[in-house]
Structure formats: structure tokens, C-alpha cells
Amino acid sequence: MLPGHPWTLRLRRSLPGASRFFAIAGLTWCCGLRSAPPRTPASTPAKRSSASPAAQRAAPAPAAKPSAVATDPATARVRACFNGLRKEFPAVNVGRVIRFYRKNNPAALDRLAAALQADPRAGRRLARELVEHFIDLEETRRSSPDEYVRLLEIEKLEARCLELSAQARKLRTALKTSGRGEDPAKIRREITRLEAELRQLIDRVFTARQQNQLIAVNRLEAEVAELRKIIQQRDANRKDIVSRRFRQLTGASARARRNTPAVQWDW
């Protein structure tokens, strides 16, 4: 039934009660204006989104649940090798070792993976060297942060040298088989560029190592100078040191007049 239709309004005003109802129902049936059946829960359409079509198209799709990704066999071998050294280095965190080399010297992990595949025994020796090197750097980081920064820079430079040398060797191998459509002149130019950069990096590494060693020598010289000064003071206080030690061994009063390394028996 259509409440707003002109014929419906006209019948509604002219007929009373039930006659009006049946007349209107018959009119709508005859005119093909039958009312739609009541909606059931099963046939109720989904609620339309209030967002615009452009916004609906721009909305990202629901994120899929992450699936388990297979671990790279080379990475798995490296991690398993480091885990095998836990008994020898119980205080070392394997995850930290891998993250350190992955960030500062990824070529070392590549060499370890290749060594483990070619000769597992040699690979384990290399892994042990990498762990020991990591431990030395960690001790330096705690005792001398400035020296640690210098050593870390040297580590990165040497890693870059190894990377460039590997690229140059690969290109030289490709140059020998350049009959497959590759341009020999282009390969030679690339080799020249890589080797020039490699030579500059080697010079930078040498300079950085020399500076670090010079700083270490200066520090040792300062320590030696301090030790010589203490030895000279102790020689000047020889009688006091001997007397103090005599009182300690005989049970007499061992109270020292000066509590300095120059007059101590053990210093």
C-alpha cells in the first residue's frame, strides 16, 4: 500500500472504517502496487558504511596473520654454531654477537657461513675467533669508550675493504668469461674504480690503526712514568718500609706514618 498515492488519499477521505481498508488494499493489488513483504532477519541487507566510496577504497585491508617464515639455512648454521660455543663462553649472548657483526661487519658472518658449509671444523674455529674478538671489544667498551669507538671504526673500514676486494675478484672472474655479451671495457673500468676505492680505504685503515696504537703507547708511557715515580719514592723511604714490615712480622705496632704507595710493602 502506498500512503501518499492520490487515489489512496481520495479513498481514505470518502470511505469509512473497514470499507476504506479493503478498497485501498484492492486498489493497490490491481495497480500492481502491492506492498513489499515484511523483512526477516535473514533477508535484511548489511548496513551500509557511512564512509564515502573514495574513503572505502583507500581504507587498508585487514592485516593478515603473520605466517611462519622459513629460516635461511646459512643463518641457521651460523646461529647453531654460535650456540655450540655456549659451554666455552657461557657469559656471551649469542643474539648480541650476531647483531653486532650484522651491523658492523656483515662480511664476517658471510665468511663464517661459507666456512661452515665447506669445512665445519674450520667454521667452528672461525666462530670462536669472532666470539673472542667480540669479547675483547666489549671489555674495551666498558674500560675505554673512546678506544672502543676507534676500534669500531676500524672494524667497519676493514669490513668495507673485504667487501670491495670480493667485488673486484668477482669482476675479474667475469672478465675472463666476458664473451657472453658483457662489455670487457666496462668491466675493466669498474674494476679500476673498485681497486682505487679499496686502496684509499686501506690507507685510512692503516692511519686509524697507527693513531690507535700511538694512543695506547702514550698511555703505557704515562703509566710507566708513574710507576718509576713510585719506585723512586719507595727507594727514598726504604728505612720506613723495612721498619713497617718488621713490625708487621713481629707483631709490634704496624701503624704507618704515611699511608701512601711509596711506604707500603705491597703496592
My answer on whether 158 and 136 are in the same domain is: no
Q: Is residue 3 one of the residues assigned to a domain?
A: no
Give the per-residue pLDDT at 68: 38
Q: Which three cell numbers stand for residue 180?
A: 657472453
My answer on whether 106 and 171 are in the same domain is: no
pLDDT tens digits for range 218-235? 999 999 999 999 999 999
pLDDT tens digits for range 170-192? 999 888 876 556 788 889 999 99
Mean pLDDT by 10-residue block, N- to C-terminus, for the chain (267 residues)? 48 47 43 45 48 49 44 89 94 94 92 94 96 96 94 94 93 79 85 96 96 95 95 92 89 62 73
Q: Which domain holds residue 101?
A: 75-143
Give the per-residue pLDDT at 179: 59
Domain count, the chain: 2
Q: Is residue 20 one of the residues assigned to a domain?
A: no
Give the per-residue pLDDT at 254: 52
My answer on whether 157 and 205 are in the same domain is: yes
CA distance 186 to 124: 40
Nearest C-alpha neighbor of 112 from the set 123, 98, 120, 103: 123
What SS3 class is residue 73? helix
Q: Which three cell numbers stand for residue 238?
A: 726504604
Question: At which of 143, 171, 203 does a domain end?
Answer: 143
Report yes or no: 117 and 77 within 8 Å, Cβ to Cβ: yes
CA dihedral 92, 98, 99, 103 (to 10 degrees): 130
Rg (CA), the chain: 43
Q: Which three cell numbers stand for residue 247?
A: 713490625
Q: Which three cell numbers stand for residue 207?
A: 692511519
Give the per-residue pLDDT at 58: 45
* pLDDT > 90: percent of the chain: 56
